Structure 1
Amino acid sequence: MASPFDAIPDVVIDYVRNVFGAANEKVSRAMSAHPSMHEESLDHILVMELTAAPPAFFAAEQVGVSLESHWLGGRWMHGRWEIADIAIFVLLRRRGNLVARKVALLQTKRLYSKEIPVAPIDESDYRIGIGRLADRTDRLVPISSQRVFGFDLTSAYQATGAGHRQIDHIDEYFELRGIPVYYGFYNPVSLPFQTAYPILDGRLPEGGNDVGCRVVPADHVHAVMRGLVKGRSPSVSDIKAGSPFDPLDPTSTLGWRLERFVADEVLKCRQGRLFEDLSDQNLRALLYERSAPISTAITITIDVGGDA
Structure 2
Amino acid sequence: MHEEALDLAFVDAVAEAQGPHLTTSGTIVDIDIHFVGGGGHWEQRWEVADIGFIVNFRRSGTLLRTKVVLLQSKRLYPREAEFTEYKGVVRPGGFGSLMQPSLPATLGPRTFRFDESCHYKALQVGDRQWQSISQYENSYGLPVHYMLYHPHSMPTEASIPVVVPLGAPSGPAKVGVRVLPAGCLRNLTSDFARNRAPSYRDLQNEYGEVGIRLPQFVVDRVLSCFEGYVVDDGDENEGLRRVFNLRSAPIAAAVRIDINIPE
Give TM-score, length-normalised by structure 2: 0.87
Aligned to 1:297: 254
Instruction: Check conservation: 1:70, 1:296, Cα contact below 8 A.
Output: yes
Aligned to 1:156: 119
Q: 1:288 aligns with which of 236, 241, 245?
A: 245
Aligned to 1:6: none
Query: How far does the alpha carbon of each residue in 1:140-179 deviate from its partner, in whole angstroms, 9 at most, with x for none?
Result: 5448964221111010000121221211211111111111
1:97 and 2:54 matched:
no
Moved over 6 A (4+): none
Instruction: Check conservation: 2:152, 2:169, Cα contact below 8 A.
Output: no
Instruction: Give the alignment of 1:104-115 within 5 angstroms.
Output: 104-115=69-80
Aligned to 1:51: 15
2:161 maps to amino acid? P
2:130 maps to amino acid? I
Give TM-score, length-normalised by structure 1: 0.75
Query: In the comparison of the two structures, how many residue pairs are matched?
Result: 260
Higher helix proportion: 1
Aligned to 2:200: 236
1:275 and 2:231 matched:
yes
Query: How far does the alpha carbon of each residue in 1:166-200 deviate from its partner, in whole angstroms, 9 at most, with x for none?
Result: 11211111111111101000000111112322233
Q: 1:225 aligns with which of 189, 198, 214?
A: 189
Instruction: Check conservation: 2:52, 2:71, Cα contact below 8 A.
Output: yes
C-alpha distance in structure 2 between counterparts of 1:205 and 1:143, whole Å = 26
Which is further off, 212-221 or 272-281?
272-281
Return closer, same or farther for 1:79/1:179 CA change in 2, 3 Å cut-off: farther
Aligned to 2:142: 179
Cα RMSD (Å) = 2.7
Instruction: Check conservation: 1:63, 1:304, Cα contact below 8 A.
Output: yes
User: How far 1:217 sits from its partner (Å)?
Assistant: 0.7
Query: How far does the alpha carbon of each residue in 1:119-151 deviate from its partner, in whole angstroms, 9 at most, with x for none?
Result: 224499444233322x116x8544896422111
Which is further off, 156-165 or 281-290?
281-290
Instruction: Check conservation: 1:72, 1:295, Cα contact below 8 A.
Output: yes
Which is further off, 209-218 or 276-285?
276-285
Instruction: Give the alignment of 1:73-152 within 5 angstroms.
Output: 73=37, 74-77=39-42, 81-117=46-82, 119-122=84-87, 125-133=90-98, 135-136=99-100, 140-142=103-105, 146-152=109-115
1:170 maps to amino acid? I
1:270 maps to amino acid? F
Instruction: Check conservation: 2:83, 2:122, Cα contact below 8 A.
Output: no
Which is further off, 175-184 or 225-234?
225-234
Instruction: Check conservation: 1:105, 1:182, Cα contact below 8 A.
Output: yes
Segments of structure 1 that go 5 or more residues without pairing to the other structure are: 1-36, 243-249
Which is further off, 84-93 or 122-131?
122-131
* Percent of residue pairs identical: 34
Return closer, same or farther for 1:57/1:123 CA change in 2, 3 Å cut-off: closer
Aligned to 1:22: none
Aligned to 2:4: 40
C-alpha distance in structure 2 between counterparts of 1:284 and 1:235, whole Å = 33
1:263 maps to amino acid? V
C-alpha distance in structure 2 between counterparts of 1:211 and 1:178, whole Å = 30
C-alpha distance in structure 1 between counterparts of 2:43 and 2:107, whole Å = 44
Instruction: Check conservation: 2:3, 2:74, Cα contact below 8 A.
Output: yes
Return closer, same or farther for 1:80/1:54 CA change in 2, 3 Å cut-off: closer
1:84 alignment partner, SS class: coil
C-alpha distance in structure 1 between counterparts of 2:100 and 2:57, whole Å = 48
